[in-house]
Amino acid sequence: MNIVILVVTNCDTQFLFLETTLIKINNNYNILRANNQNFIDIILNKTIDLIILDLDENLLKQTKSSEFLKTNSLIKNIPIIFLTNITTIDILNKGFELGAVDYLNKPINELQIKNKVTLYTKLSNEIKENRKKDLLLFQQSKMASMGDMLANIAHQWRQPLSCISTVASGLKIKYDIDILNESELKEDLTQIVNLTQHLSETIDSFRIFFRKDIDKSEFNIKTTIEKALSIVQVLFNNEGIDIEFKGKNYTFYSYENELIQVLLTILNNAKDALEDNLNKKIIFITSEIKDEHLIIKIKDNANVIATNIISNIFDPYFTTQHQRQGTGIGLYIANEIIVKHMRGTITVHNLNYKYNNKDYVGAEFTLKLPL
């Protein structure tokens, strides 16, 4: 695999030495050069695997460059090795604050360069491979969920389309036999407009599922949960599943659409688990703020998850008896989103509980997200 190494230095001699040494280590390395003024543009426009950064006073004084190194999302997965001839604690701390993972002392030792560059290029390769796998899994998860989404759209649209057809047919018959008056025409056309508006809103709701958040935003958690429920409501009604939701209007700052994806995964998993339930089918959802965390709990009455598999339920490609046609990646992706993107936790356990003086058994998923 071709490794791209960016050397950021204003010193020609230093660059030539590094370039010669790096090519001796591996002649497949693609060595790029930048200075303190243009390295940001190169990082933004090239795919970089490793950065060797000459840490001098001029660079440290450039606020824009320092902030870019500290905060830009494009650079967070690129290992940075900085060069310095001053190894005081203060200078080392400044280098690591810029996002560096290691450093080299000047004058540079060839063996040190070989060991550290080999280590971090290998690490960079592993990061890229893992990112490819994650992207593939996310794509598979979306594709696996598309059938459910299309089924939900069909259920959401069937009744409005039937009503539009009925109203339009009635208008035509009245017109043909010359009994259509202006008042009825306006009333029926208004009804058609309202129904088409409902169809449009349904499209907007489903677009959420296929849109990826780039930036965090503030949103009302009660409204967000209701958005997820609106997507599955009609299908769940047809399956005879009741949903009991209790939550308050908390404001939360995170990735709303990704949270909706997680909620839909858990809800659809519960729907599959309830398929063979001959008793009343219920899903309970609660949300609350506790100990500086948002807590969302989703439980069903679909009996317990077997103890020999419950600990593996978030593993990739692991399917349960309830995922008859599933790929086994939905809950794995949900876990990845909650843990890696939202810095929270997702857990599941079996429980016995009472509702309206009746005993129930089921599984409960708990999402715990930091405020």
Strand, helix or coil for residue 270: helix
Q: For 249-275, what is each residue's pLDDT tens digit?
A: 889 998 888 888 889 889 988 888 888
Domains of the chain and any CATH numbers: 4-108 (3.40.50.2300), 142-370 (3.30.565.10)
Structure confidence at residue 323 (pLDDT): 45
Mean pLDDT, residues 16-44 taken together: 86
Judging by DSSP bridges, how do beta strands 50-54 and 80-84 pair with one another? Answer: parallel
Q: For 51-78, what is each residue's pLDDT tens digit?
A: 888 877 666 666 567 677 777 766 777 8
Query: Is 312's pLDDT higher than 50?
Result: yes
Strand, helix or coil for residue 219: strand
Q: What is the DSSP letter of 194?
A: H
Burial 340-355 (b: 16+ CB within 10 A, else e): eebebebebeeeeeee
Query: Is 209's pLDDT higher than 60?
Result: no
